A = this chain, B = another copy of it.
Amino acid sequence: MTQKIAILGASGYTGAELARIIATHPEMEIVALSGDRKAGMKMGEVFPHLRHLGLPDLCKIEEIDFSNVDLAFCALPHATSQAVIAELPLDQKVVDLSADFRLRNPAEYEKWYGKPHSAVELQKEAVYGLTEFYRDEIRAARLCAGTGCNAAAGQYAIRPLIEAGVIDLDEIVIDLKAGVSGAGRSLKENLLHAELSGGTMPYSAGGKHRHLGEFDQEFSKLAGRPVLVQFTPHLMPFNRGILGTVYVRGNAEEIHAALAARYAEEVFLEVLPFGTLASTRSVAGSNFVHLGVTGDRLPGRAIVTVAIDNLTKGSSGQAIQNANLMLGLPETMGLMLAPVFP
């Protein structure tokens, strides 16, 4: 039976990406789309690439009849998201794509996001949405918190290495190259084509990026001790894709073997042959993840490269993967879309 889907905050890029994927999902149907400032507009005006889909017009959240909604994707900004979800029916299944429910610890939330969490009970209830590592919890969840896109990329590269005990936990550097759609459809000068295209620069360097909260939480939990990574994101002159270049200490072959073993049964995780490097172009537009491992000329050092599409596996594809689990559907349903190249 087709699942009825609402997308709250459908006028942003993750909202559009949800709609794109659901367009060919055999068991999901979009019944409501909210977009506060754009309420009343046709979705095909806000996103002309979706005009053929006959989607509902954008409305205000309060106009949605949630008794008719099997699952709501919440693609709102953080802070807004916690307020909105707190008002939804208590049994409403929700996959949240914001940052609001990623961190377990209210103090950590406040530290990284600058104000106290207003829905601490929901924060406790929420399940972290990195599917391949929280599958059972997600299947049983009412509220699932989508991960940060950069946080997803980094974790796919590093978690199995912590699990397998093959790297030095105090020597992890994530140099990350992030496509601009990760910054959303917001009107900021540095996101203009004339500013951004034709070059690159880092941002939030030195331990300031909010996704560090997720890295800290997840890696430390996994290791049973504090694990603090270095993380430098760079704004890239392309729209989709994240490349993580992860510098670790350990035996490169063992590292490769640990990734290969951990992901052997995972449909979306592709561990490339030893020495092959990941490329964002090879996963763009898809839910797939490419992972490469290469040794370094310096003994005991290795480089893990990881590529994901920030909007798909890093956000909306992940969200649908989790929604499939929460709705009792096959996990990969609607998500086997191949990457788009060239």
Which among B47, B198, B280 is the interface contact of A200 at CB below 8 angstroms? Answer: B280
Of listed A187, A200, A286, residue having the most chain B CB within 10 A: A200
**Is A142 positioned at the interface, with any CB of B under 8 Å from its CB?**
no
Taking a contact as CB atoms under 8 Å apart, the answer to whether A207 and B298 are in contact is: yes
Of listed A199, A202, A238, A295, residue having the most chain B CB within 10 A: A199
Taking a contact as CB atoms under 8 Å apart, the answer to whether B206 and A232 are in contact is: no
Taking a contact as CB atoms under 8 Å apart, the answer to whether B290 and A340 are in contact is: no
Taking a contact as CB atoms under 8 Å apart, the answer to whether A205 and B303 are in contact is: yes
Taking a contact as CB atoms under 8 Å apart, the answer to whether A180 and B194 are in contact is: yes
Interface residues in A, total, Cβ within 8 A: 89
Taking a contact as CB atoms under 8 Å apart, the answer to whether A202 and B241 are in contact is: no
What's the least CB distance linking A38 to chain B, in Å?
11
**Is A73 positioned at the interface, with any CB of B under 8 Å from its CB?**
no
Cα distance, A298 to B240, chains bound together (Å): 30
**Is A90 positioned at the interface, with any CB of B under 8 Å from its CB?**
no
What's the least CB distance linking A116 to chain B, in Å?
22
**Is A164 positioned at the interface, with any CB of B under 8 Å from its CB?**
no
Taking a contact as CB atoms under 8 Å apart, the answer to whether B237 and A193 are in contact is: yes
Also in contact, A234 and B185, with CB within 8 A (given A270-B52, A340-B20):
no
Taking a contact as CB atoms under 8 Å apart, the answer to whether A247 and B187 are in contact is: no
Chain B binder among A1-9, A120-128, A130-138, A331-339: A331-339
Which among B53, B175, B200 is the interface contact of A279 at CB below 8 angstroms? Answer: B200
Which residues on the B side are within 8 Å of A181 (C-beta)?
Answer: 194, 342
Which residues on the B side are within 8 Å of A298 (C-beta)?
Answer: 207, 228, 230
Which residues on the B side are within 8 Å of A19 (C-beta)?
Answer: 338
24 pairs, A vs B, C-beta closer than 8 Å? A23-B336, A24-B338, A49-B282, A49-B340, A52-B338, A177-B177, A185-B194, A193-B196, A194-B239, A197-B197, A197-B239, A198-B342, A199-B284, A201-B281, A202-B305, A205-B294, A206-B294, A206-B295, A207-B296, A228-B298, A230-B296, A230-B301, A234-B243, A337-B337
Sorted from nearest, which 7 A-B pairs have the closest CB atoms?
A207-B297, A201-B279, A199-B281, A49-B339, A199-B280, A194-B342, A23-B338
